[in-house]
Amino acid sequence: METAAIRIPIWLIIVYALALATILIWPFIAFMSVFAFDAPGTAQDPAVWTGVIAVLSYPLLPLVGVPGSFLTYRKGLRKPAYVLAAIGAVPLVILAIALISIVVMNFLFLLGAKI
């Protein structure tokens, strides 16, 4: 007896696509991370190394979260699939927060607000 295929909701597919799209900007961010070591003594600073390693490894979140979410959703495990999709979307959320903060700060600057 054949079981019916489980259909993935469109909103989850959109989250998958946006989360994977954040990988497209990773080469630019990876290139910029080498400049974290410009100042003298930063090559020995563990905080700088931690930041650079975190920046360089952020594609792992969507590359693990999205396929894991897809496969667990297809098995019928919805809650773990949503958790894995959220893990995969962490870089997307960080990017959205960064862009919103840039827009708000520029708007405040144009209004002449003292920050």
pLDDT tens digit at each of 115 positions of the chain: 445 578 889 999 999 999 999 899 889 888 988 898 888 888 898 998 998 898 888 899 999 999 999 999 999 899 999 999 999 999 889 889 999 999 999 999 999 877 6
Helices (H) and strands (E) in the chain, counts: 6, 0
pLDDT of residue 42: 85
Report in angstroms the alpha-carbon separations of 8 from 22, 42, 73, 83: 21, 46, 7, 15
Q: Which helix (H) or strand (E) holds 38?
A: none
Report in angstroms the alpha-carbon separations of 114 from 77, 106, 109, 111: 50, 12, 8, 9
pLDDT of residue 4: 59
Is 0.85 topped by the overall pTM?
no
